[in-house]
Amino acid sequence: MTQTVPVELDDVVGGSFFHREFHRHPPALAPRYKSSIARSPKLALVSIPNSLSELSGPLFGHDTIGPDDNDLTVNFAKPGSRPALGERIIVHGRVLDERGIGMSGMLVEIWQANSGGRYRHIKDGYAAPLDSSFGGCGRTITDSQGGYEFRTIRPGAYPWPNGINDWRPSHIHFSLFGTGFAQRLITQMYFEGDPLIPQCPIVNAIPDPKFVEPLIARMDRHNTIPMDARAYRFDIILRGRRSTQFEGQAG
């Protein structure tokens, strides 16, 4: 499931470190996204260099990843019980740097709502039922080419109290860790063809519609499992001109 990503010349000129282009990312304060009003910083941001303790740890252990941690259809189900309910899908792709080189050994975590659009969270009051066989989270380690894969179910859309009739599109949250827990990026993945994407206030906080495209997973018929699961491809680019949009970036 690997794929060569074309490298733009501008991405490899100027040294080994490539600054993030913050204008591509959603601003910290986006008034139509009501939660950002309370969460956004009130003072100018200050850049603080990493200390030795942040660079050297804490670290995650590869031996803590279980064999079913990346299969959300079964990793929460009790032994002998049915798998999770919903449309079965495979989400796969590569984690890449700004040069198109795969990043191996990265911890990738996901969390999502169930097929009815409800999270297994004490504060989720949506009326959709919980699925006793679906926990809604998983994790894996990228391979030598930066590849990752999850088996899960397609999450449902759900209403949220941002506006009178706001609905979140079907989406999956991604968290990526580098060599330690202090190196973390968070983003969201959407599904090709979902009509709710252009209506979502969170998506519309991204300053240019063309920057939304890297967040939309495309259906991948080449890796679909017949009579079982459709596949979607979602590559994540960490830096550079083609960087994926991440949460918590200063606009």
Q: Give me the pLDDT at residue 58, please.
A: 63
**Which of 85, 103, 83 is CA-nearest to residue 93?**
103
Check if the beta carbon of residue 115 is closer than 8 Å to that of residue 85: yes
Q: What pLDDT score does 52 carry?
A: 72
Cα 95 to Cα 101, 182, 187, 238: the distances in Å are: 8, 18, 12, 7
Closest by Cα among 226, 246, 228 to 237: 246
CATH superfamily of 18-36+68-237: Aromatic compound dioxygenase (2.60.130.10)
Residues 6+ apart with CB under 8 A from 45: 250
Question: Pick from 199, 182, 194, 184: which is nearest to 156 by CA?
Answer: 194
Residue where the block lists tokens 């304060």: 29
pLDDT in tens, the chain (251 residues): 434 343 443 444 433 445 556 666 777 888 888 888 888 888 887 777 767 776 666 666 666 788 899 999 999 999 999 999 999 999 999 999 888 899 999 999 999 999 999 999 999 999 999 999 999 999 999 999 999 999 999 999 999 999 899 999 999 999 998 766 667 788 999 999 999 999 999 999 988 888 899 999 999 999 999 999 999 999 999 876 667 767 655 43
DSSP type of residue 16: S
**What is the structure's pLDDT at 200?**
95
Q: What is the DSSP string of 91-133?
A: EEEEEE-TTS-B-TT-EEEEE---TTS--S-TT---SSPP-TT
- 3-class state of residue 11 by DSSP: helix
Could you tell me the end-to-end alpha-carbon distance of the chain, in angstroms, rounded to an integer? 34
Residues with Cβ within 8 Å of residue 115, at least 6 apart in sequence: 84, 85, 86, 87, 131, 134, 153, 154, 155, 156
In the chain, where the domains are located = 18-36+68-237
Q: Quick one: pLDDT at residue 210? A: 86
The predicted model scores a pTM of 0.84
Q: pLDDT, tens digit, for every residue of 39-53?
A: 888 888 777 776 777
Main-chain phi, psi angles of 198, to 5 degrees: -70, -10
Tokens of 84: 């999770």
> Is omega for the bond preceding 58 within 30 degrees of 0, making it cis?
yes
Place of tokens 């006793």: 132
Q: Would residue 128 be called left, alpha or beta, if left means φ above 0 and alpha means ψ between -120 and 50 degrees?
A: beta
Rg from Cα positions in the chain: 19
Q: Which residues are part of the catalytic machinery? A: 119, 158, 168, 171, 173
Compute the C-alpha angle 242/2/234, nearest 5°.
Answer: 50
Question: Residue 96's beta-bridge partner residues?
Answer: 102, 237
Residue pair 87/151 in contact by the 8 Å Cβ criterion: no
What separation in angstroms does the CA of 85 have from each of 29, 82, 116, 129? 37, 8, 9, 11
